[in-house]
Chains A and B, each alone.
Chain A
Amino acid sequence: MAAVEQVKTALAGLESAKVAATAYGKKGFHLDVGVAPDDVVAVAEIMDRAGFFIEAVTGVDWLGEQAAKAAEAKKKAEAAAKKAAEAAAAEGGEAPAPAPVKVPAPGPDEMEVVYDFSHYQETCRVAVRTRVLRSKPELATISAVFPGANWHERETHDFFGIRFIGHPDLSPLLLPEDADFHPLLKDFKA
């Protein structure tokens, strides 16, 4: 698996890259790479040098994920506080006044951009993912490295409103030419 090793070595030099080998039989890809949005072009260049081809670029809207995480953290903290209070009561001591549970406020919502790469000669699929703020969905285009990404990025802009900085033409590809909506956003209402 020369291409995989080449990619792994090259990605080790990238500070933001978190590389994880995944179980192919379960997930359908071999490498899962998380990077900072600033590094997507560098990663695309690495994939290009290793002889990969681009399968697709797409997005995932994680609206409400942060709130759900915060709610879960709060629930956990409350359960822990209740348990502590019960334990204190069971010991016969005076139950202390329940301290107000402190949890950090939910962070800003994010959108994920996923790049799928594959290889003609070797069986190797790599999913590269990065996250951008939902309120400011911007990152650099990789269409200069892989011209095939041009249409995929345009489609992602159509569906999610993610702006690819430096893209030659982000006009609607599949949506009507005057479309000002992004149908795959989770808060999109027809």
Chain B
Amino acid sequence: MSHLASDLHKETFVLNMGPQHPATHGVLRVKLVLDGEYIVEADPVLGYIHRMHEKMGENRTWAQFMPNTGRLDYLSALSYNHGYVCAVERAAGIEVPERAEVIRVMTVELNRISSHLLWFGAYLLDLGGFTPLLYAFDDREQILDLLESVTGSRLTYCYFRFGGLYNDIDDNFVTGLKAFVQRLRSRLPMYHTLVTKNIILMKRLKDIGVVSADMCRRYGATGPVARGSGIEYDVRKNEPYSAYPEFDFDIPVYPEGDSMARYMVRMDEIEQSLRIIEQAIAKLPEGPIMAEKAPKIVKPAPGDYYQAVEAARGSFGVRLVSDGTNTPYRLKLRSPSFCNLSLFAEASQGMLVADAIAFMGSLDLVIPEIDR
């Protein structure tokens, strides 16, 4: 037997995870070089749903690009609407009425909760637990109904306008929102008892996919990925925009850097978003929802401008270059999942394939936003 054992040489093999794998939530392929069940090398292959939004931006007016922003990250489309309108408003010097700003914050936070709820359901589905998805979608459906009543769409929103909003909210929306906040508040403890304290979940997430704070910095990770690695960074606090300075909320930070930490960050963020929504309902000022002086045709002064907002997955940045005409000269979209995924290759080395699924799910990837 001994000579047989000495003849055994290590052999690696290549496994394609995706592009049609349920755990990648979209069309992402990861080329894995495996040694048995362990990952030697992981190479994400992108671009399956690349649509070249940045070139589209150069071929239409500033306002015409608005619908595109809702199609980057279709799970938190309002944050992307928000980032783009803020960038153009900054470039063109448009002031937004206070009521519009508060409604923007309110709807964006509602959208953030729906995004986190979908992530929660889908992530547990990846890990083999089917039921939580049904609970999460039940709650998420309420948000979609609410947002549909005011924005007109359920997923790919195009609700904001340069200088304000497309539509004002009504009493029905406020009543429904109050009821929803109460409902989700009462259901969150159930989520925690049902899922968070589940021993199987803990064993699958604790110490899996540890990302150090320094790795986050070298790869430019933001959002819950950075906050799960002990970095207290949130664009809403670090570079306050819109009406956020007026709101009182905390940034959940967990220092462990593992999948459990990222899970906890998102669950806590749902609570913080509920807090912001409650405050927004309480302080909703009367007044116009569109700036009176908002120009019909926007022509920002020549130059370049940057605006970052905190989307559900991290910092979404818009870099605009204007040549003073009614179309953008250059429009760069910096998407958070793109950077968050780029650390996967380094962080997943030596990991079991099953753990890599748990790790990748905890990054909360949305592929259309990576591929743009």
Contact = CB atoms under 8 A, between A and B. Distances in A.
Chains A and B are bound partners: yes
Interface of A: 25-29, 51-56, 58, 60-61, 114, 116, 118, 120-121, 123, 125, 127, 146-148, 150-151, 159, 172-176, 183-184
A184 B54 contact: yes
Contact of A151 (B232, B303, B317, B338): B338
B219 interface: yes
A175 B50 contact: yes
Contacts of A174: 46-47, 50, 371-372
Interface string B322-349: 0000000110101000110011001000
Q: Which of A60, A61, A118, A127 has the most CB of B within 10 A?
A: A118
Best-buried of A53, A55, A151 by chain B (most CB within 10 Å):
A53
10 contacts: A27-B90, A29-B306, A53-B217, A55-B315, A60-B330, A116-B306, A146-B220, A147-B342, A150-B342, A175-B47
B55 interface: yes
B54 A159 contact: yes
B231 interface: yes
Q: How large is the interface on B (under 10, 10 to 19, 20 to 34, 35 or more residues)?
A: 35 or more
Contacts of B338: 151
B3 interface: no
Contact of B343 (A52, A121, A148): A148
B47 A58 contact: no
Contacts of B246: none
Given A173-B47, A174-B47, A175-B50, A27 B305 contact: yes
Given A121-B233, A123-B239, 20 more contacts: A28-B305, A53-B217, A53-B218, A54-B220, A55-B334, A55-B339, A58-B332, A116-B334, A120-B217, A120-B233, A127-B304, A146-B219, A148-B218, A148-B220, A148-B343, A150-B342, A174-B46, A174-B47, A175-B47, A183-B55
Contact of A53 (B93, B220, B334, B346): B220
B257 to A, nearest CB: 14
A58 B319 contact: yes
Contacts of A120: 217, 226, 231-233, 238
B216 interface: yes
Given A120-B231, A148-B343, A60 B46 contact: no
B286 to A, nearest CB: 27
B319 A56 contact: yes
Given A28-B306, A174-B372, A114 B218 contact: no
A141 B121 CA distance: 40
B44 to A, nearest CB: 9
A138 to B, nearest CB: 21
B307 interface: yes
Given A116-B319, A147-B346, A51 B219 contact: no
Contacts of B303: 27
Contacts of B146: none
A147 B218 contact: yes
Contacts of B113: none
A176 B47 contact: yes
